[in-house]
Amino acid sequence: MSNSILSIRNLRVSIQSRDGSLNEITRDVSLELAPHEFVSIVGPSGSGKTTLLRAASGLRPPNGGTVVFNQMPVTEVPKGLAIVFQEYNKSLFPWLSIFKNVAMGARDCSSHERSERVTKALAQVGLSGFETRYPWELSGGMQQRAALARAMVSDPQILMMDEPFASVDALTRNHLEDVVQKLWDSSTFSALMVTHDVGEAVYLSDRVLVLSARPSTVLAEIKIDLERPRSHFETKQSKRFVELAAEVLEKVEEAGRQSVQGKELI
Amino acid sequence: MNQVRFAPDQSERPLELTRARLTPRQRRTVRQIGGILVALALWELSSATGAVNSNALVTPLATFGGIISHMTALATALVATLEAWALGISVAVVAGILIGTLVGRSQIADAATETIVRMMRPLPSLALIPIAILIAGLGVRMTAGLVSFAAFWPVFINTRVGVRQVDNTVLETAAVLGLKKLNLLYRVVLPSASPMIASGIQVAISLALVVTVSVELVGGTGGLGEFILLAQQGNEPSVMFGGIIMGGLLGWGISRLFAWIIDRFIPWRTQGIRTNA
């Protein structure tokens, strides 16, 4: 267990509602993330996936349980942790060029090294030549690639992604998934991705965690034993992929039924 | 062979060709000029027909004559007005951004100043002329002081709201990037609030001009306001109208200049709306 780079134990997160009462979002979630492991968290909408990610990254304190990153308890977003958000149009700063946006991820480096890293990261995501452009001059997919490049320049140990491809069209999504896969293949970071897309989770991950309905616990953990590297053409048509996706989907639907039943009780 | 007949004939589109000759921007300019010409015609008509007392409302041509005959005095008055305006707006912008940022980022400062702000804000600047004269005496410093008092509020209020309403994703991104305190303030919070602050300044610069000319007119402290006042007292309505028109032109020039500056430095102000939609 001490081998893991990120260790989430019995995490509980509640959100204070307007009247002051605590609304329990996440009840009890534990997760060990090994070095260079790709784990996805799926679950029905409202199961607190994003809340879980925010607590795991140190963006907000949990109401119970612990998060340990590199043997250090997480109290704020630690160095070595990068996050890609769903809303790329807000996550990239419109007052900075693409180059300067990406360079924000490597503020600690000397300017020479920073510039080298930015150039390399932009090349990795296929955005060479767009250095002087501004985020709002690029398409959604390109903006999200820039956000990925910004995460990469910091040379993170963990890349967290919150519904990273939910705001782009299907073709762009396939392409972005492969960009992420390639980055992950050619590097050593661990990835923790939150998504509602079962196919995407299975396609990219080593392990998929299915959350129950709110207040969430881990309903199932499914190991994805598909060969790497994976491709949209072959992997997604393989028998094993279809089986695994069906297994995950079944669990997600089970969680969804729970949530419907829960509402009926209210 | 039949298909040939159905091919659209590109040569027979004279109407669309003439329309395409003007870019949307040029068309807008033409319409703006048209609007001015219509306004001038209405003005001419209402004074020439005697619909309004022609001693009070002189014709556009007479006004033009008034401007030409008092060129030097007008230029001196304009410079004086501009000086008081610039002094006042500079103080207002600097103070508005500084204090607005402080109050917007600190709950203590916000609570402590709230009542005072609500009390001070509706005070008309002209009501403060007596106090201003006591403090600064008659002159440009007094005018500028009142101008900065009036122009401070839009800048202050917009800055306060702007630095407080930074989008959560923007703040979380900053947290992931490890930006804290001063770095967070000047790399993220202020740039993010800049469109809002710019809108405040835009309101402030026009308001500042109104107050400058008003104070000059009431207090007789030089500039365009006093020029208008003296022309009225000297029973020279055409010269008085010249002064008023010059004031309008000054306001137009200043706000155009500022709009141009904003477009240059905050180009994403309008782009953002499109991409965030």
Could you check whether the bond before residue A215 is cis, i.e. omega within 30 degrees of 0? yes
Residue B273: band (very low, low, confident or very high) from pLDDT cuts 50, 70, 90: very low
Q: So where are chain B's domains? A: 19-57, 60-276
- According to CATH, the superfamily of the domain at B60-276 is MetI-like (1.10.3720.10)
Mean pLDDT of chain B: 86
| CA A138/CA A92 separation, integer angstroms | 11
In 10 A of CB A237, how many CB atoms? 10
Query: φ, ψ for residue A214 (rounded to 5)?
Result: -65, 135
Q: What is the pLDDT of residue B19?
A: 54
In 10 A of CB A77, how many CB atoms? 21
3-state helix, strand, coil in chain A (%, to 5): 40, 25, 35
- Partners of A29 in beta bridges: A11
With CA atoms as reference, report the closest residue to A227 among A216, A236, A215.
Answer: A236
In 10 A of CB B60, how many CB atoms? 16
Q: For chain A, which residues lie within 8 Å of any Cβ of chain B, measuring from their own Cβ?
A: 54, 57, 59, 76-77, 79, 81-83, 85, 87, 89-91, 93-95, 104-105, 107, 134-137
Strands A38-42 and A190-194, sheet pairing: parallel
Q: What is the pLDDT of residue A263?
A: 55
Q: Which residues of A touch B192 (CB under 8 A)?
A: 93, 95
Q: What is the pLDDT of residue A21?
A: 85
Q: What are the Cα distances from residue A126, in Å, to A99, A146, A149, A152, B205? A: 13, 9, 9, 13, 45
* Nearest 10 degrees: Cα torsion A193, A197, A202, A207: 40
pLDDT in tens, B33-68: 999 999 988 888 887 787 777 677 888 888 888 888
Burial class (CB in 10 A: 0-12, 13-18, 19+), A115: middle
Strand A158-162's sheet: what is its strand order? A72-73, A64-69, A6-16, A22-33, A216-223, A207-211, A38-42, A190-194, A158-162, A81-84
CATH 3.40.50.300 is right for the domain spanning A34-59+76-253:
yes
| CA A189/CA A256 separation, integer angstroms | 32
Q: Which residues of A touch B271 (CB under 8 A)?
A: 94, 134, 136-137
Nearest to B170 among A77, A90, A137 (CB): A90
Mean pLDDT, range B159-176, rounded to an integer? 93
Quote ipTM for the complex.
Answer: 0.88
Residue to mutate among A54, A77, A83, A90, with most B CBs inside 10 A, is: A90
CA of B263 to nearest chain A CA: how many angstroms apart?
Answer: 12
Q: What is the pLDDT of residue A46?
A: 79
Q: What is the pLDDT of residue B7?
A: 47
In 10 A of CB B43, how many CB atoms? 17
* Tokens coding A128: 């060479």
* Tokens coding A202: 């299975």
**Residue scoring higher pLDDT (A1 or B24):** B24
Q: What is the pLDDT of residue B137?
A: 81
pLDDT in tens, B204-228: 999 999 999 999 998 888 889 999 9
Residue B175: band (very low, low, confident or very high) from pLDDT cuts 50, 70, 90: very high
- Whether pLDDT at B2 is above 50: no
Q: Do B274 and A136 touch (CB under 8 A)?
A: yes
pLDDT in tens, B228-250: 999 889 888 889 999 999 999 99
Written as one letter, the residue type at B250 is L
* Nearest 10 degrees: Cα torsion B146, B149, B150, B154: 160
| CA A101/CA A118 separation, integer angstroms | 9
Question: Cα-atom radius of gyration of chain B, to the nearest Å?
Answer: 25
Q: What is the pLDDT of residue B238?
A: 87
Q: Which residues of A touch B274 (CB under 8 A)?
A: 136
Could you check whether the bond before residue A61 is cis, i.e. omega within 30 degrees of 0? no
Q: For each of chain A's 266 residues, which pLDDT tens digit applies?
A: 458 999 999 999 998 888 888 888 889 999 999 999 999 999 888 788 999 999 999 999 999 999 999 999 999 999 999 999 998 888 999 999 999 999 999 888 888 999 999 999 999 999 999 999 999 999 999 999 999 999 999 999 999 999 998 888 888 899 999 999 999 999 999 999 999 999 999 999 999 999 998 888 899 999 999 988 898 888 988 999 999 999 999 999 988 887 666 554 44
| CA B253/CA A243 separation, integer angstroms | 70
Nearest to B275 among A79, A81, A89 (CB): A89
Q: Do A77 and B272 touch (CB under 8 A)?
A: no
Cβ-Cβ contacts under 8 Å for B254 (sequence gap 6 or more) = B85, B205, B206, B209
CA of A89 to nearest chain B CA: how many angstroms apart?
Answer: 7
